[in-house]
Structure 1
């Protein structure tokens, strides 16, 4: 399956959450978080704080989708009836059967609620069981302890740190990037069941 064969209306959901393709009109759905919670993007390379930045963020995501290298989702929390944030597949390499999962952010009301684990379960299940990926990679700023802890809690293995890897936004400081991953056999051997138990 190629990214061009991703159904353009790919929807992933369980009883609590729904992930659907991000659209230009989702500016309105995410604006409250964008305007009121700028700390959400402290470690991001592309920020979505403020309406203009959010519009730009969504445009960049949709352009990458058009170029078939990324597939961005908006996350809807069924319990509260509110949009919670966004996440995406990126660096999709179908020849090598690898992709990255990231650009994930949620409003503060949705952090620590189990929503992230549910999202990751649906996304990993889709990556390994529908797309047939062999490896799903995750990256983060090595200082972003909250993000690293979240990735470890869903079953990721730390592979190492790329030192002085990339510039941080609006700064001369360069960041170290931590690399984590889940492999296909790990998903089926234990990660899937372990993650399922955490969200039940």
Structure 2
């Protein structure tokens, strides 16, 4: 499978959550979180706080999908029927069979509900079992304790920290980025089973 063969109509779902391709119409679906939950963007490299920033965020994500470098999803909580946030595959590299998973954010009502574990299970299963990836990488601001704890809880292994790796939303401040990953053999040799028990 090549980058151009990434299934453009990919929908992933279970009884708890539905992930579908992010669209421009999702501006309306995600606007409430954008306007009223500024803490969501504390560690975001591309903030979506406020309508103009949300429009820019979604337009950039869709352009990256059109360029076949990223695949962004809208996340819908099936229990409430509400839009919970967004996540995506990026740095998709089929020749190396690697991909990064990130740009993940949820509204406060959906944090700690188990929704993230359901999303990650579906995304990891798709990456390893449908796309045939050998490695899924995750990155976060090294100060983002909540995000790092969430990644460790699904089975990610810490690989190290890239010091002064990139600018932050407050561009005069640079961040250290922690690198975590899951390998295909780890997925099939315990991570999948352990994560499924937490769903």
- 1:171 to partner: Cα distance: 3.0
The 2-side partners of 1:6 and 1:168 are apart by: 30
Q: Is 1:196 aligned with 2:196?
A: yes
Q: Is 1:58 aligned with 2:49?
A: no
Q: What's the TM-score, normalizing by structure 2?
A: 0.99
- 1:97 to partner: Cα distance: 0.1
Partner of 2:118: 118
Q: Secondary structure at the match of 1:147?
A: helix
Q: Secondary structure at the match of 2:128?
A: helix
Q: Is 1:21 aligned with 2:21?
A: yes
The 2-side partners of 1:100 and 1:123 are apart by: 11
The 2-side partners of 1:193 and 1:38 are apart by: 35
Partner of 1:6: 6
Partner of 2:108: 108
- 1:47 to partner: Cα distance: 0.4
Q: Secondary structure at the match of 1:54?
A: helix
Q: Secondary structure at the match of 1:125?
A: helix
Mapping for residues 1-200 of structure 1, pairs under 5 Å = 1-199=1-199
- 1:154 to partner: Cα distance: 0.3
The 2-side partners of 1:49 and 1:109 are apart by: 17
- 1:3 to partner: Cα distance: 2.8
Unaligned runs of 5+ in 2: none
Q: Secondary structure at the match of 1:24?
A: coil
Q: What's the TM-score, normalizing by structure 1?
A: 0.98
The 1-side partners of 2:21 and 2:110 are apart by: 19
Q: Secondary structure at the match of 1:127?
A: helix
Point out 4+ residue stretches in structure 1 off by more than 4 angstroms: none
- 1:86 to partner: Cα distance: 0.1
Aligned residues: 199
Name the Cα RMSD after superposition: 0.6
The 1-side partners of 2:30 and 2:106 are apart by: 10
Unaligned runs of 5+ in 1: none
